[in-house]
Structure 1
Amino acid sequence: MHEPHSHGSVLKRRTGWLGALERRKDRGDGTGQGHQVDRPGRKDQVGRPPGRVHRLATPIGILAAVAGAFAYVGSVDPNESGHYPVCPLLKLTGVLCPGCGGLRSAHAFIHGDLGAALEANAIATVGYFLFAAVWGLWLVRAWRGQPLRIGLAPVWWWGVGAVLLIFTVVRNLPFGSALAP
């Protein structure tokens, strides 16, 4: 006798989050009909690929959020005390973290003073350009209907961590005072 919720020979049973998603999408009548896995970048309910407006919504939404944050930092000067909280690591230990000076860097960057932005936080300033490049790539790929896939090997992530660590140590030493905000 066939149990109504058994997927035995009709569907291969998957475990983990994908299996849970498949079981939730299945109608549950045991036939496997109505089985649909929700995977981004595929097709909508009717079987059409998502339109450009749908594909561009996320990158444009992210840009709007970042632009809003930059607009706020551009209008509220972080060089004046009382507008932003103090870095807790700096307050408790006197050590500059890799993000110290980031708001001043963003403020200078928005006002077109690239030199002051680099002086306040060079890593953050490089990050603005990196964000712009990745966002542009994301927008172009979304326009074309292709997913954004940036696969970095673990060695790259370790390299980024090493650069941030070296930046942090050097900016806190007397000879690295040029990197301090």
Structure 2
Amino acid sequence: MDATPTPSAAPSDPAPAPAPGPPPFAPVRGPLFPTAPAGASRLRRIAVPAGVLAAVVGAFGYVATVDPNQPGHYPVCPLLRFTGVYCPGCGGLRSAHAFAHGDLASAFGANALAVAGYAVFAALWTVWLIREARGRPLRIAPRPVHWWAIGAVLLLFTVIRNLPFGAVLAP
């Protein structure tokens, strides 16, 4: 007799269902930066925000010392060099240099979007520091619509600053 099963004989166990959980590309909902344990001292909780601020102050200090208006200190923007089109970051170093020296009008003239970014950073960093000092981590979970809005603002800024009527936004 033949011992092979007949085609009508199917296994009685169905395939196991996938384990429940988040979809494969779900946004991560958690602290933006690692946080100290709940019982940690206030000094330990504010160490990461203080470190981030120290890095930003160091970067601004360097740009304040090494003038981007003098040629040869920083690389040229490749998009500007090869196409003649100002990118959203063009003028950012000159803006940071002027901002570090307290010249807000020149900073705004070099890159208005960068100055707005400095303000957004300052506000978010302050909220982050206060929340960490109180033992409540900052949670930022931008949705796709937020990323699209940021991209649209960057694109709009880039297009306007490269058109004749938007020359005031060009560095």
Give TM-score, length-normalised by structure 2: 0.77
Higher RCO, Cα 8 Å, sep 6+: 2
Deviation at 1:152, TM superposition (A): 3.0
CA distance in 2, matches of 1:60, 1:14: 39
Q: How large is the Cα RMSD of the aligned pairs? A: 2.0
May I ask how many residue pairs the two structures share in their alignment? Answer: 142
Tell me the CA shift for residue 118 of structure 1.
0.6
Corresponding residue number in structure 2 for 1:135 = 125
1:109: Cα distance to partner? 0.7
Question: In the TM superposition, what are the counterparts of 1:138-153 in structure 2 within 5 Å?
Answer: 138-153=128-143
Letter in 1 for 2:148: W
Structure-2 separation of matches of 1:84 and 1:113 = 21
For 2:70, the aligned partner's letter is: E
Alignment partner, residue 60 of structure 1: 50
**Is 1:125 matched up with 2:125?**
no
In structure 2, C-alpha distance between the alignment counterparts of 1:158 and 1:133, rounded to whole Å: 22
SS at match of 1:165: helix
Q: In the alignment, which residue of structure 2 is the partner of 1:175?
A: 165
Amino acid of the residue matched to residue 147 of structure 2?
W
The question of whether the paired residues in 1 share the 8 Å contact of 2:89 and 2:114 is answered with yes
Kindly report which structure 2 residues correspond to 1:1-181, keeping only aligned pairs within 5 A, or say none.
41=35, 43=37, 49-181=39-171
Matches of 2:123 and 2:132 in 1, distance apart?
14
Q: Is the 8 A contact 1:109 1:117 kept in 2?
A: yes
For 2:120 and 2:35, the matched residues in 1 are separated by 25
Deviations, residues 63-87 of structure 1 (Å, cap 9, x unaligned): 0000000000011111111111101
| 8 A contact 1:122–1:179 mirrored in 2 | yes
Q: Identity of paired residues, percent?
A: 63
> In the TM superposition, what whole-angstrom CA distance separates every residue of 1:38-66 from its partner, at most 9, and x where no partner exists?
xx5474xxxx7122122111000000000
When the two structures are superposed, what TM-score results if normalisation uses the length of structure 1? Answer: 0.73
Q: Letter of the aligned partner of 1:125 in structure 2? A: V
Q: CA deviation at 1:93?
A: 1.2
Measure how far apart 1:113 and its partner are. Answer: 0.9
